[in-house]
């Protein structure tokens, strides 16, 4: 105990604080309690110091709580533009997806319509799973090997690709032969090996898949492993569409080129899905289904071609339409030829490479050839050429 | 400088403590640091009784229980170390002001009290031509902030007592009854109560004084003693019950029957010639006389 300002002896601040903070040993604490019992001054000091400590602790707690509370208040206004920005982004993504979605269409296979091939009794569900597991590996490989030629599928009809298990060749072959060529005789092909058959084989044992819509069919592999088998209703719908386009089919049936049936015949022996081989997905870059309806004439498209960001299409009536936005909007091209337009295509470039209608997903873009010349052929086999699709001159 | 070996201290321990407390950063040499620790330890005999001799383990426990960081900072400030003062101001200047305001209950008085103590801490006062800093008295038992709060409270209470000396609390006590009205029973009752209070131990007297004289709440008392509020409540009830029994016993020892003793307990307290404040604090002089003698 040290003497302080008073005449009496009192514990110093050190001892009083140590007592208040429970830091005194038991013996010294007993002495302190004995003193506090008789000394109102030191009791008052103890209680005042304790009260101050509690107030400071409360203030500190309130301050920390206030700081944690003000964090949200400070940023509360920032949530408004953040939410608005997120909403705008989500809307943009949605619009983009809706805009892009019609451009590609996955081939859907109805295994019921395809006869079973010996040794390939894999169930569709199992195939789906295999697809999901194997889709990634062959994609890049197959895309690299794909010929650069994509052909126009002139006849209208349902897009069809044989069931992968029965018809898709293994990757080593797919790269060269998977391209489905149309019966269009004017299609330009590259030096890549696209087999051409002079005519279709209507007497084929297997059901002949027919395209129900005018589509540019491109043999390609897709990284999308979500290939599914279409239900029977889908197949029925495709067949119904095929019947409505028999006229166009008949027109091109004898004009050469490899038919889908021939493709099927070639591809079937190479089926190896059950063996865990590479699983290509034949993907069509098909004209959107809405294109037919979007054409000002309302008729089906019998031929179309895309180049220089322009898309030309001929409908059943022989009218030519031009789209500058990938088919979203069409404008009618004034009649500058005789007869009825039948086929529109692109002339080969000077380097001998072929032009394609459009690459799938841009992955196999055709080499840029300048200038590209559109060619239009009428029902009398006369041709007209144009560089912009609007002004046509006789050739 | 007191060499560590001269007082039987563990030199390795002192070196470790010097390193851990980062005393070198505040300009304290290890020798000076050792001297401070030795002084603190010997003043308190390492927390042991007066006749006990601390072993090295007890010494280590005592030193480990000190707030060495605060102690080093306080000593650096007392020595006038500029970095130490910068640190002190950054840590305690505002908290000192808030504590003073909380103690005085007034911003003006609190600011005045804090500034006065701060000036004193800075060593503006001199004694015998030597700069004097209260931080020299800090020994590291308890936090430096707690020491500052307690010092503020001491200054405030002392100032209040000096300024209110003209109106002592005793004047507000109930005036004693006229001597001629005292009866034998009341005299016996007063003596019995006085004797019963004298028999209470220190902690019981502290509870009675804090609760009945100072008007502190159970919670305040509990926090001061570091126990639960319910514990204080139970102890108070036990103390009062024991006091009543002891008073009854004292009355019976004084020759009153049990019935007469119980009737005496029902007397009006204002009729008693008793000053409980004086009774509870009777031993203050005795206690410090004992302390001074020891």
Q: Decide: A177 and A266 in contact? Cβ < 8 Å.
A: yes
* Alpha helical stretches, state H, B254-294: 258-265, 276-280, 283-293
User: Which residue did the predictor score with more confidence, A279 or B25?
Assistant: B25
Instruction: Specify whether B37 is located in the same domain as B91.
Output: no
Residue B35 binned pLDDT confidence (cut-offs 50, 70, 90): confident
Q: How many CB atoms lie within 10 A of CB A22?
A: 12
User: In a mutagenesis test of the A interface, which of B51, B154, B292 is the best target, namely the one with the most A β-carbons within 10 Å?
Assistant: B154
Q: How many CB atoms lie within 10 A of CB A348?
A: 17
Domain end (from A103, A136, A167):
A103
Give the residue from A259, A252, A284, A266 showing the smallest Cα distance to A196. A259
Q: Which of residues 274-293 of B touch A (CB under 8 A)?
A: 277, 280-284, 287-288, 291-292
Residue B195: per-residue pLDDT: 84
Strands A151-153 and A215-217 turn out to be antiparallel
Residue B150: per-residue pLDDT: 93
Q: Report the run of H or E that residue A70 belongs to, with start and end.
A: helix A40-100
Count of structural domains, chain A: 3
Identify the sign of the CA torsion B191, B196, B202, B206: negative
Which tens digit of pLDDT belongs to each residue from B87-118? Answer: 899 999 888 999 999 999 888 999 999 998 88
Q: Cβ of B284 and A18 within 8 Å?
A: no
Give the residue from A220, A217, A214 showing the smallest Cα distance to A258. A217
Q: Decide: B69 and B23 in contact? Cβ < 8 Å.
A: no
CB < 8 Å to A23, chain B: 65, 141-142
Residue A147: per-residue pLDDT: 42
Q: Transcribe A270-287 into DSSP letters.
A: G--TTTT-----BEEBPP
CA distance B59 to chain A (A): 13
Q: Report the run of H or E that residue A209 belongs to, with start and end.
A: none
Give the residue from A167, A218, A156, A162 showing the smallest Cα distance to A192. A218
Residue B237: per-residue pLDDT: 92
Q: Decide: A316 and A307 in contact? Cβ < 8 Å.
A: no
Instruction: Specify whether B142 is located in the same domain as B198.
Output: no
Domain end (from B40, B66, B92):
B66
Please give the Cα distance from B156 to A48 (Å, whole number).
Answer: 9
Which tens digit of pLDDT belongs to each residue from B205-238? Answer: 889 889 988 889 999 999 888 899 999 999 999 9
Residue B219: per-residue pLDDT: 92
Give the residue from B198, B205, B103 showing the smallest Cα distance to B154. B103
The reply to whether B168 falls in a domain is: no
Q: Cβ of A2 and B292 within 8 Å?
A: no
Give the residue from A93, A223, A210 showing the smallest Cα distance to A160. A210
Q: Which residue of A has its CA nearest to B136?
A: A14
Residue B6: per-residue pLDDT: 43
Which tens digit of pLDDT belongs to each residue from B123-139? Answer: 766 677 777 788 888 98
Confirm or reject contact between A57 and chain B (CB < 8 A). no
User: Which residue did the predictor score with more confidence, B176 or B228?
Assistant: B228
Instruction: Specify whether A5 is located in the same domain as A70.
Output: yes
Domain end (from A246, A265, A284):
A284
What are the DSSP E strand ranges found in chain A?
A: 2-3, 9-10, 105-106, 151-153, 215-217, 283-284, 301-307, 310-315, 320-323, 331-332, 341-346, 374-378, 383-386, 393-394
CATH assignment of the domain containing B95: 1.10.1740
End-to-end CA distance of chain A: 122
Q: Decide: B14 and B6 in contact? Cβ < 8 Å.
A: no
What is the residue range of B265's domain?
173-293
- What is the reported pTM? 0.47
Q: How many CA atoms lie within 13 A of B204 on its CB side?
A: 15
Instruction: Specify whether B180 is located in the same domain as B270.
Output: yes
Q: Which residue of B has its CA nearest to A6?
A: B158
Instruction: Specify whether A114 is located in the same domain as A209.
Output: yes
Domain end (from A284, A311, A335):
A284
Instruction: Specify whether A376 is located in the same domain as A389.
Output: yes
CA distance A79 to chain B (A): 36
Q: Decide: A162 and A268 in contact? Cβ < 8 Å.
A: yes
Three state DSSP letters for B76-123: HHHCCCHHHHHHHHHHHHHHHHHHHHHHHCCHHHHHHHHHHHHHHHCC
Residue B61 binned pLDDT confidence (cut-offs 50, 70, 90): confident
Q: Which of residues 230-269 of B touch A (CB under 8 A)?
A: none
User: Phi first, then psi: what are they for A141, rounded to 5°?
Assistant: -60, -45
Q: Decide: A349 and A355 in contact? Cβ < 8 Å.
A: yes
Please give the Cα distance from A24 to B141 (Å, whole number).
Answer: 8
Which tens digit of pLDDT belongs to each residue from B140-159? Answer: 988 999 999 999 999 999 88
Please list the ranges in chain A whose pLDDT falls under 50. Answer: 1-7, 103-231, 245, 247-292, 350-369
Instruction: Specify whether A187 is located in the same domain as A70.
Output: no
What are the DSSP E strand ranges found in A103-237?
A: 105-106, 151-153, 215-217
End-to-end CA distance of chain B: 28
What is the residue range of A84's domain?
1-103
CB < 8 Å to A51, chain B: 102-103, 220
Count of structural domains, chain B: 3
The reply to whether B279 falls in a domain is: yes
Residue B132: per-residue pLDDT: 79
Please give the Cα distance from B84 to A1 (Å, whole number).
Answer: 28
Instruction: Specify whether A149 is located in the same domain as A227.
Output: yes
Instruction: Specify whether A325 is located in the same domain as A335.
Output: yes
Domain end (from B66, B89, B117):
B66
Confirm or reject contact between B138 and chain A (CB < 8 A). yes
Confirm or reject contact between A12 and chain B (CB < 8 A). yes
Domain end (from B33, B66, B99):
B66
Instruction: Specify whether A227 is located in the same domain as A293.
Output: no
Nearest-5° Cα angle at B272, B267 to B274: 140
Instruction: Specify whether B209 is located in the same domain as B265.
Output: yes
Q: Which of B137, B143, B216 sits opposite A47 (nearest CB)?
A: B216
Q: What is the DSSP letter of B211?
A: I
Q: Cβ of A41 and B287 within 8 Å?
A: no
Give the residue from B66, B83, B58, B54 showing the smallest Cα distance to B17. B66
Instruction: Specify whether A245 is located in the same domain as A381.
Output: no
Instruction: Specify whether A233 is located in the same domain as A267.
Output: yes
Residue A370: per-residue pLDDT: 58
Which tens digit of pLDDT belongs to each residue from B248-284? Answer: 888 888 887 888 877 777 777 666 666 777 766 654 4
Instruction: Specify whether B140 is located in the same domain as B184.
Output: no
Q: Please, what is the average pLDDT of chain B?
A: 80
Residue A239: per-residue pLDDT: 58
Instruction: Specify whether A128 is located in the same domain as A44.
Output: no
Three state DSSP letters for A331-363: EECCCCCCCCEEEEEECCCCCCCCCCCCCCCCC
């Amino acid at each position: 105990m040290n003497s302080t300002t008073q005449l009496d002896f009192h514990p110093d601040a050190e001892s009083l604080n140590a007592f208040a903070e429970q830091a005194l040993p038991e013996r010294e604490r007993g002495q302190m309690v004995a003193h506090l019992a008789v000394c109102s001054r030191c009791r008052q000091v103890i209680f005042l110091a304790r009260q101050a400590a509690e107030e400071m602790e409360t203030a500190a707690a309130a301050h920390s709580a206030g700081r944690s509370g003000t964090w949200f208040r400070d940023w509360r206004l920032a949530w408004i533009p953040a939410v608005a920005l997120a909403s705008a982004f989500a809307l943009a993504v949605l619009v983009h997806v809706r805009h892009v979605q019609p451009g590609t269409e996955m081939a859907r296979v109805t295994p019921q319509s395809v006869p079973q091939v010996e040794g390939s009794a894999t169930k569709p569900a199992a195939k789906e799973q295999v697809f999901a597991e194997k889709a990634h590996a062959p994609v890049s490989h197959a895309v690299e090997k794909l010929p650069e030629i994509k052909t126009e599928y002139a006849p209208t009809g349902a897009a069809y690709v044989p069931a992968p298990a029965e018809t898709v060749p293994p990757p080593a072959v797919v790269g060269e032969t998977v391209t489905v060529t149309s019966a269009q005789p004017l299609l330009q092909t590259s030096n890549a090996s696209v087999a051409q058959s002079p005519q279709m084989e209507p007497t084929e044992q297997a059901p002949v898949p027919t395209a129900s819509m005018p589509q540019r069919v491109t043999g390609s592999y897709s990284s999308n492993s979500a290939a599914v088998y279409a239900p029977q209703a889908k197949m029925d719908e495709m067949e119904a569409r095929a019947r409505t386009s028999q006229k166009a089919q008949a027109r091109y049936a004898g004009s050469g080129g490899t038919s889908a049936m021939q493709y099927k015949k070639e591809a079937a022996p190479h089926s190896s899905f059950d063996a865990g081989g590479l699983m290509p997905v034949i993907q069509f870059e098909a004209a959107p289904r809405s294109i037919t309806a979007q054409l000002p004439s309302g008729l089906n498209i019998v031929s179309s071609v895309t180049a220089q960001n322009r898309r030309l299409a001929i409908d059943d009536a022989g009218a030519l339409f031009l789209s500058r936005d990938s088919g979203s909007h069409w404008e009618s091209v004034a009649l500058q030829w005789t007869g009825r337009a039948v086929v529109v295509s692109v002339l080969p470039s000077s380097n001998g490479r072929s032009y394609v209608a459009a690459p799938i997903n841009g992955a196999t873009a055709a080499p840029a050839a300048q200038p590209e010349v559109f060619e239009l052929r009428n029902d009398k086999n006369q041709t007209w050429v144009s560089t912009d699709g609007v002004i046509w001159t006789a050739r | 400088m007191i060499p560590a070996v001269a007082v039987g201290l563990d030199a390795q321990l002192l070196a470790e403590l010097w390193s851990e407390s980062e005393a070198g950063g505040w300009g304290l040499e290890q020798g000076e640091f050792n001297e401070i620790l030795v002084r603190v330890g010997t003043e308190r005999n390492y927390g042991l009784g007066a006749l006990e001799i601390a072993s090295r383990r007890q010494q280590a426990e005592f030193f480990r229980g000190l707030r060495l960081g605060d102690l080093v900072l306080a000593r650096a400030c007392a020595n006038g170390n500029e970095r130490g003062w910068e640190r002190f101001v950054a840590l305690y200047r505002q908290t000192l002001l808030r504590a003073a305001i909380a103690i005085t209950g007034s911003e003006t008085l609190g600011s005045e009290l804090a500034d006065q103590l701060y000036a004193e801490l800075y060593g503006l006062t001199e004694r015998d031509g030597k700069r004097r800093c209260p931080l020299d008295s800090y020994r590291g038992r308890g936090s430096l902030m707690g020491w500052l709060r307690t010092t503020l409270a001491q200054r405030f209470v002392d100032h209040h007592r000096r300024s209110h000396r003209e109106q002592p609390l005793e004047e507000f006590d109930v005036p004693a009854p006229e001597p001629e009205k005292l009866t034998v029973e009341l005299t016996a009752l007063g003596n019995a109560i006085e004797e019963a209070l004298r028999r209470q131990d220190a902690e019981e007297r502290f509870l009675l004084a804090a609760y009945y004289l100072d008007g502190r709440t159970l919670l305040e008392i509990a926090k001061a003693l570091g126990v639960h509020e319910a514990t204080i409540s139970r102890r108070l009830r036990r103390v009062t019950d024991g006091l009543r029994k002891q008073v009854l016993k004292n009355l019976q020892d004084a020759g009153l029957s049990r019935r007469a003793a119980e009737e005496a307990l029902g007397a009006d307290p204002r009729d008693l010639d008793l000053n409980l404040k004086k009774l509870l604090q009777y031993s203050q002089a005795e206690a410090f006389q004992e302390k001074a003698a020891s």
